[in-house]
Amino acid sequence: MAIVSNTVNYLDGGTLLQAFFAYDDSFEGRRPAVLISHAWGGRDEFVNDKAKQLAELGYVAFALDMYGQGVVGANPEENAALMQPFMEDRQLLQRRIHAALYAVTLLPWVDDSKIAAIGFCFGGLCVLDLARMGADVKAVVSFHGLLTLPEESGDKPVIAKVLALHGHDDPMATEEQLKAFTIEMTDLNVDWQLHSYGNTVHAFTNPKANDPAFGTVYNAIADKRAWQSMKNFLEEVFA
């Protein structure tokens, strides 16, 4: 087994984006692909490492770039400034992540009938919006994702199955937002699941998250359970 990885450029209109992809070259033929949407800081080593882990599971993994040219923030202020335009303009967000979906279908190793997407924090919101667009993906998985609903709902049926992996005490996804999310998914007749981890806050999958005052703390047990839930879910939807 040899994991092959590299970066690839793709476009959203005139914006140049730079993804990181990985796959196991010992597998022959086309295989399922998993998009990975980064947190508010940009496409960093955290999601690149997730791509390699997914490649080890037999998928083509595509860590997308929401901001352009692989830009990453250096501190919370820069991260917020990078994310805010997409929070204010969900059509921009949806167009940008759809560009990544199109780009991954062009990779020669990808079975474009079997594509899923996962995302972390801001990236969780991005993949939920991908589902809300009615995108032709099998499933989306949100890890401690932001749950703010878009002001306008899409006019296409949601095809993707949805798995939300949530820290019960996450201050960035309030009880009101969580309730609105579950009502939305039910009203849209989505095949959805919500796993809520007790004594767990935001960014629980990130070992570098260690700011209790900000509400971001790594939780090794929740991280392990969430990753296993994602693996089981992908095996199910790609069967």
* Residue 194 lies in domain: 3-238
Q: What is the pLDDT of residue 153?
A: 74
Torsion sign (Cα): 166, 139, 42, 109: positive
Nearest-5° Cα angle at 144, 173 to 130 = 95
Mean residue pLDDT across the chain: 96
pLDDT digits (tens, 9 = 90+) for 40-95: 999 999 999 999 999 999 999 999 999 999 999 999 999 999 999 999 999 999 99
Q: What is the pLDDT of residue 133?
A: 95
Q: What is the pLDDT of residue 18?
A: 98
The residue with tokens 């967000």 is 93
Confidence of residue 207 (pLDDT cuts 50, 70, 90): very high
CATH number of the domain that residue 97 is part of: 3.40.50.1820
CA 164 to chain centre: 10
Q: What is the pLDDT of residue 28?
A: 87
Q: CB under 8 Å, gap of 24 or more: what pairs does 43-48 form?
A: 43/18, 43/19, 43/67, 43/70, 43/72, 44/72, 46/120, 46/206, 46/208, 47/20, 47/120, 47/123, 48/5, 48/20, 48/22
Report how far residue 151's alpha carbon sits from residue 147's, in angstroms, rounded to the nearest whole number. 12
CB 172 within 8 A of CB 146: yes
Q: Average the pLDDT over 192-206 and give the result.
A: 98
Q: What is the pLDDT of residue 222?
A: 98
CA 17 to chain centre: 16
Q: What is the pLDDT of residue 49?
A: 98
Q: Give whole-number Cα distances, 127 to 17, 68, 74, in Å.
A: 17, 17, 24
Domains in the chain: how many in total?
Answer: 1
Report how far residue 195's alpha carbon sits from residue 215's, in angstroms, rounded to the nearest whole number. 19
Q: What is the pLDDT of residue 223?
A: 98
Nearest-5° Cα angle at 145, 101 to 196 = 125
Say if pTM beats, i.e. exceeds, 0.95.
yes
pLDDT digits (tens, 9 = 90+) for 125-135: 999 999 999 99
Please give the DSSP secondary-structure letter assigned to residue 149: P
Q: What is the pLDDT of residue 156?
A: 85
Picking from 83, 69, 94, the residue whose alpha carbon sits closest to that of residue 16 is 69
According to DSSP, the residues that pair with 17 across neighbouring strands are: 10
Torsion of CA 224, 44, 146, 128, to 10 degrees: -90
pLDDT digits (tens, 9 = 90+) for 84-123: 999 999 999 999 999 999 999 999 999 999 999 999 999 9
Q: What is the pLDDT of residue 81?
A: 98
Report how far residue 99's alpha carbon sits from residue 203's, in angstroms, rounded to the nearest whole number. 26
pLDDT digits (tens, 9 = 90+) for 12-21: 999 999 999 9
Q: What is the pLDDT of residue 151?
A: 85
